[in-house]
Structure formats: C-alpha cells, structure tokens
C-alpha cells in the first residue's frame, strides 16, 4: 500500500487556528484513490503530522528522510492573504520573516543553503487543473516564512538522497474561503495526481546540415535547467504531432519551418512523467541565431561526437545515438 506523508502546521502569529492543522486531522488514515490518467486505483496509507512553527518543524521531514521512506510528501500551510488554494512549484533559498516564529526566531534576509532556489520535479502543469472540482492556482512564490523553509528543506533532502519521491506544498486560504470538505476533496485530488504518472505526446525537431544538428539548452527557469534538448514541445489534444512541430518551432525560435521526414517515435519514462517523442527532420529558410530564442538559454550546432559531451535530457539521448548512426 503506498504511504503518503501529509503535514500541517499549528497556529502562528495572530492566527487562532490553522486550516492546515484541521485538514490533516480530518483526513482518513486509509484513503481510496483513482488513477487520474487512466484506469485503475488503489488504497493508500496517510501518515499525518502536525509541524511546529519553528526550526524544529521546518526540519522534521528532512531529518526523518534519513531513516524513513514515503511514496509521496504533501505539505499543507496557511496563506492568510490568499483567497484560493495554491500549489507551490518553487521553494526559495531565502528566509525573510516579517514576524517571529513560535520559538521567537526571526530570520531576516538570510539564505537557507546558499545553493539557490529549488523546483519540484512533479509535473503539475500536466494535471489539467481546470477540470478539477476545487481548482488550485499554480504559484512560484511560497513566501519567505516557515512554509517556504519547510518546503525547501524537504526538497533539498530529497535531491541529496536521489530518491524519486514526489513532494509538493499546498498553500490554503482560511476557512472563510475553503471549507473542510472542499479541502479534503482538493487534497485527495493532489495526492492521486502525485502518485500516478501522466503520459504526454511530444514533438521534437532536428535542424541539420550534412554533419551537424542543432542542440538547445534549457533555461534556468525551467525544470532540469542547463540540460540540452531538441527544440519542440507538447502536442495539444486538438492537434497532430506535425502541426505541433511547426507551432512549437515558431514559438521557440521564431521561424517558419518545414517537415522533411519523420524519423520515428521514441518512448521514455521519467520518474514523474512518460513521454512519447515524435522526432522530425526539419528545415527553415529563416535565420537560426541566439536573438530568436524565446524559451531557451543557448543553442549550438554540434556533430554527434560533440553532442555526447553535452548534458542531454535523458529522453533525448537515444535520439542523439540514432542521429549518430545516420552519420550526423
């Protein structure tokens, strides 16, 4: 049975209650869930923990990960100024407390590790949130108080341990904007999406000369920053891979392109996502240079031998090997 850690916080500051604490107590210890991406489902075990609003609370999950394992970790916290739930995609490497925590600690403009912000690897943007009964928004600002600190320390520990455990922070408005029953429904939806893997179709384009092809470097604001990939992106539900290919190249590189040949489909399963990559040889009469980049950090023309010196996305490595066999 999959095991999920669900945490909330005690009240803090001027708050006499914390909806995250109430929701954790309200959740059943055994929960049936369905696969939101396909057939099937399962029962899960929910371990519930109320964290203290201080350093010990922010480090509890991190410290427990040294000796314990969960299949998913969902932190809950109160966002006093929010009017709707928010799924946090980023934990900042920063503490800037406008009020002391419950131990009297008040860190002002300090870094947590000095190693930079951390992004969740969970593919939340693939979740079709608009279809949910209780719709959360996506946020890249978890604040600079205990919620952010807890999220950061957990993501940091998971990254250091190299275990593929999905972890998210869910910020909640107070009970005047979210009822307990609505909160339980939302938590069930988030957990079910965390435990099952979405599957997507992707179109990738290979611009090439007789001996080289074009490689793109992911921007620092994207998941897996700095890694190299082929230009392209997700196939929308209402389009073919061919149409998606032309659209993505226009959006990413600002060029009008043509498809010369389809090389094939390469499937790959990441810890949090399955992709089927439709790969095309493409060409354009427009100029390909750094000034046209819209979403990438850099671009480079490389031969197959040169390409293997780059740090590629795992799913793209088999494609590079295939291009090598073709003589590029």
pLDDT in tens, 177-195: 999 999 999 999 999 999 9
Q: Which residues contact 230 (CB under 8 A, 6 or more apart)?
A: 204, 205, 206, 214, 215, 216, 279, 316, 319
Q: Which residues contact 8 (CB under 8 A, 6 or more apart)?
A: 18, 20, 21, 22, 23, 24, 25, 49, 50, 51, 76, 77
**First CA to last CA distance, the chain:** 48
Q: Which residues contact 64 (CB under 8 A, 6 or more apart)?
A: none
Distance CA 209, CA 283 (A): 9
pLDDT at 120 over 90: yes
**Predicted pLDDT at 328:** 81
pTM (2 d.p.): 0.81
Distance CA 149, CA 55 (A): 9
Residue spans of the domains in the chain: they are: 3-195, 199-326
Class of the CATH-defined domain 3-195: alpha beta
- Contact in structure between 207 and 213 (CB atoms under 8 Å): yes
Burial 242-259 (b: 16+ CB within 10 A, else e): eebbbbbbeebbbbebeb
What homologous superfamily does CATH list for 199-326? Answer: Nucleoside Triphosphate Pyrophosphohydrolase (3.90.79.10)
Distance CA 138, CA 140 (A): 7
Alpha-carbon 95 to chain mean position: 22
pLDDT in tens, 206-262: 999 988 999 999 988 777 889 999 999 999 989 999 999 999 999 999 999 999 999
């Amino acid at each position: 049975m999959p095991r999920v850690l669900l945490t909330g916080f005690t009240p803090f500051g001027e708050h006499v209650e914390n909806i995250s604490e109430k929701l954790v107590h309200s959740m059943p210890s055994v929960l049936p869930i369905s696969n939101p991406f396909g057939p099937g489902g399962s029962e899960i075990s929910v371990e519930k923990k109320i964290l203290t609003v201080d350093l010990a609370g922010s480090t509890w999950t991190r410290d427990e990960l040294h000796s314990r394992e969960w299949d998913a970790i969902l932190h809950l916290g109160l966002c006093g100024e929010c009017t709707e739930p928010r799924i946090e995609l980023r934990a900042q490497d920063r503490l800037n407390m406008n009020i002391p925590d419950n131990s009297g600690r008040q860190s002002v403009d300090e870094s947590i590790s000095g190693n930079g912000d951390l992004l969740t690897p969970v593919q939340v943007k693939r979740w079709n949130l608009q279809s949910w009964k209780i719709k959360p928004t996506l946020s890249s600002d978890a604040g600079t108080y205990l919620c952010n600190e807890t999220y950061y320390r957990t993501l940091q520990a998971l990254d250091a341990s190299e275990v593929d455990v999905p972890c998210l922070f869910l910020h909640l408005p107070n009970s005047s904007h979210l009822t307990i029953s609505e909160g339980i429904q939302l938590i069930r939806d988030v957990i079910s999406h965390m435990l099952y893997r979405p599957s997507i179709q992707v179109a990738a384009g290979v611009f090439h000369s007789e001996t080289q092809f074009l490689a793109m470097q992911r921007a620092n604001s994207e998941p897996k920053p700095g890694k190299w990939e082929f230009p392209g992106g997700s196939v929308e539900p209402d389009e073919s891979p061919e149409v998606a290919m032309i659209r993505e190249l226009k959006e990413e590189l600002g060029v009008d392109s043509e498809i010369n040949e389809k090389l094939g489909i390469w499937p790959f399963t990441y810890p949090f996502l399955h992709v089927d990559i439709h790969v095309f040889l493409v060409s354009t009469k427009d100029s390909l240079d750094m000034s046209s980049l819209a979403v990438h950090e850099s671009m480079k023309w490389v031969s197959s031998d040169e390409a293997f010196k780059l740090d590629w996305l795992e799913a793209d490595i088999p494609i590079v090997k295939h291009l090598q066999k073709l003589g590029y």
